Every structure is written in C-alpha cells, then in structure tokens.
Amino acid sequence: MTGSSPAGPGHRPTIKDVAALAGVSKGAVSMAFNGRPGVSEATRARVLAAAGALGWEPSLSARALSGSRTDTVGLAIARPARMLGLEPFYMEFISGIESVLAERGGALLLRLVKDADEEIGVQRAWWRSRQVSGSVLVDFRKDDPRASELAGLGLPAVAVGHPSLTGGLPSAWTDDAAAVGEAVRYLAALGHRRIARVGGAAELGHTAIRAAAFEAAAHELGLEQWSSIDTDFSGTQGARATRTLLASPHRPTAVLYDNDLTAVAGLSVAAEMGLSVPRDISLLAWDDSQLCRLTRPELSAMSHDVFGFGAEVARRLLTVLDGGQPEAGPVATPVLTPRGSTAPPRH
C-alpha cells in the first residue's frame, strides 16, 4: 500500500500539521508551497519535504474562502440523456475543455438538465454558492434567456454559438455558414441539382443559421430544387426524414445531414429502400466522428476538431476569468472530408 498516508486513513493533514513538522508558521508554509517570495530556499525545501511526508495538499475550500481563484468551471447540458450518449460530440467537447482546465488545476462540474430554465437555476445556484468561478454555455436558441440572466448575475461565461445568438457574451463558434456553403458547392460541383438537407433541432440557433446558409447557397448556385427537414438529431427522426425525402416523386440526388447520427440512419433507410449509395443517392454527414467510418460505404462528412474546439472554449473562459477580453472570432470552419457516400449523380 505504497500510497497510504503516513498519518493513516481518516485524518487528512492541514497546513498546521505541515507547519509544525517543518518548524515554521502557517504563513511560511503558504508562501513556501505557493512559490511566493518571502521564504529562504532552505525553508522552502523543508516545507515541501514536510508536505510530501504528510501527504498534504491545501484545501480548495479554504483557499476559495480566502479569496483565491479556483477555476472550477460549470457546464450544464440540456438534452435527454439517451441522445447525449449517442452524440459523440459532447464527450469530445468535454474532453477538450478538460485538457485545458487540467493544466491549470481546474475542474469541470457537469450537470445534465432538461431545459434552459432549469439550467438558469443550476447556474445561478452554482454561482451564488461559489461552486463555480465561470461557466460554459451551449446550445443557444433564438432569444435565449440565459445570456441576459447570467450576465445579470455577473457570472463569467463563454457562450458556444454565433454572436448573433449569444447576446453579447464572449463566445466561440465554428463558421457553420461557410461550411454549409462548402458542402453545397461540393455537391453541386459533383453535378447534383436536387439537394435536400436534414437539419437538427429547429429551436437551436445554429440550425437556423445552417438552414439559412443552405438556402442562400442553393439559390446562388441556381439549384433546381432544395428543401430542409428538421429533426431532433436522433436516428429515428433522421430515418423518418430520409424516408420522406427519398419517397418523394422527384427525389433529391444528395442529402446533407446536420450530424452523423441522422446520416447513419439515412444510410440504412436508403439501403432499405433498395437505393445504392452513392450511385442513386449521395449522403453527406456533419460532425464527423468514428461513426462515419463504421458504415459501408463510409460516410463523407464535414469534419470538425471537436476536441480542439472544446479546448479553445476553455481557453477563452480562462481569459475571461483572468479579467481579460477573449479573442473574438470563429474557432474553425468544418472541412469537407469526402469518403464513399458521395459521388456524381447517375444521369
């Protein structure tokens, strides 16, 4: 049991114990341990040795209480559990946030809520009870109440979403409009003239942005026909939307999906209907995850460094916590990754 505390289980040492062992005052221990000037190198070494021997680390609560920063960051996600699990997006995103927080000794407080109102309650409670020093806000809707509520509280936050949605909060976003444009131009360049889109949840701000960008691109390229169907991002609804599209009399020759789950479901539906991908129909996914490479053919996708995105969000939040003004501007634009599910339409 190499790591068992010398003091024995059950009793965690405090700064007082360390001070006693090192033969100095509490204040000296604090200075020594935090690398502050005011103690000799000899003393610092003795203190560190004593701390090591006792297995002491400063209590975060006590630190927080006496005014120091703690960098505990809150994230509340408002989507049903069952769907969250399937969206590879969030785990990678969280993982990216953490990678940055961990460097600074920070921590991520995670909470799954059912809607924006519950989230406001949670964030408010976190802030008031000083559990978090800042938060990351995701999934912005039109006229989202969170921005003004939380700004009113004074909660430092970074919003994930286009600035047009995030009501003045510092934000981080991917340039979805540009990516939709690229996707549509790619399909058009392959020769597609009838392109449909299976969108995400209609309430989400970025769904509207993508929808608008899709319209604009279709218009600009003079496509023969286009349409969007919104879903809740689930496989079930992705399948249903695809069925509707493919069963229509003048069916599209290409479909652009808003996430990978609906695209995978769409692929199954195409197979079920006896259509060959990409010969009869091209499919293009979004939020490229490993899921896109599990299917036959593999799904072409607009891919996206979600981990890096999370990391950048965390960096911007830390800047805010440091009292700075975070860099403004999109984090990245998803890039086209062609695989086997897209090809020129059969004449």
Partner DNA sequence: AACACCACCTGTATCGGTTCAGTAAATACG
Partner DNA sequence: CGTATTTACTGAACCGATACAGGTGGTGTT
User: Would you tell me which residues interact with DNA (CB under 7 A)?
Assistant: 14-16, 23-31, 33-34, 36-40, 42-43, 56-59, 62-63, 65-68
Which of 76, 78, 91 lies closest to 289 in space, CA to CA? Answer: 91
Neighbours of 9 (CB within 10 A): 8
CA distance linking residue 324 with residue 317, whole number of Å:
9
Q: Where are the beta strands (DSSP E) in 120-240?
A: 134-137, 157-160, 171-172, 194-199, 225-230
DSSP-assigned letters across all residues of 23-57: TS-HHHHHHHHTT-SSS-HHHHHHHHHHHHHHT--
Which of 12, 11, 52, 45 lies closest to 28 in space, CA to CA? Answer: 45
Residue 301 interacts with a second copy (CB under 8 A)? no
Residue 117 interacts with a second copy (CB under 8 A)? no
Residue 89 interacts with a second copy (CB under 8 A)? yes
Residue 253 interacts with a second copy (CB under 8 A)? no
Least distance from a second copy to the Cβ atom of residue 222, Å? 35
Residue 309 interacts with a second copy (CB under 8 A)? no
Least distance from a second copy to the Cβ atom of residue 331, Å? 17
Residue 110 interacts with a second copy (CB under 8 A)? yes
CA torsion through residues 245, 256, 113, 111, sign: positive
Residue 3 interacts with a second copy (CB under 8 A)? yes
Ranges within 218-247 binding a second copy (CB under 8 A): 234-236, 239
27 binds, among a second copy, DNA, none (CB under 5 to 8 A by kind): DNA
Of 79-87, 189-197, 315-323, 324-332: span binding a second copy (CB under 8 A): 79-87
Residue 103 interacts with a second copy (CB under 8 A)? no
Q: What are phi and psi of 99, to 5 degrees?
A: -60, -35
Ranges within 280-299 binding a second copy (CB under 8 A): 289-291, 293-296
Give the residue, chosen from 102, 247, 328, 335, that forms a contact with a second copy under the rule CB under 8 A: 102
Rank residues 217 and 343 by Cβ distance to a second copy and give the closer one: 343
CA distance linking residue 94 with residue 234, whole number of Å:
20
End-to-end CA distance of the chain: 72
Ranges within 52-71 binding a second copy (CB under 8 A): 55-62, 64-65
For residue 218 the two structure tokens come to 């279709």
Rank residues 70 and 234 by Cβ distance to DNA and give the closer one: 70
> What b/e sequence results for 255-273 when a residue is b if at least 16 CB atoms lie within 10 Å of its CB, and e otherwise?
bbbbbbbbbbbbbebbeee
Rank residues 51 and 343 by Cβ distance to a second copy and give the closer one: 51
What 3 state SS string does 224-243 have?
CEEEEEECCCCHHHHHHHHH
Ranges within 153-212 binding a second copy (CB under 8 A): 153-154
Residue 325 interacts with a second copy (CB under 8 A)? no
40 binds, among DNA, a second copy, none (CB under 5 to 8 A by kind): DNA
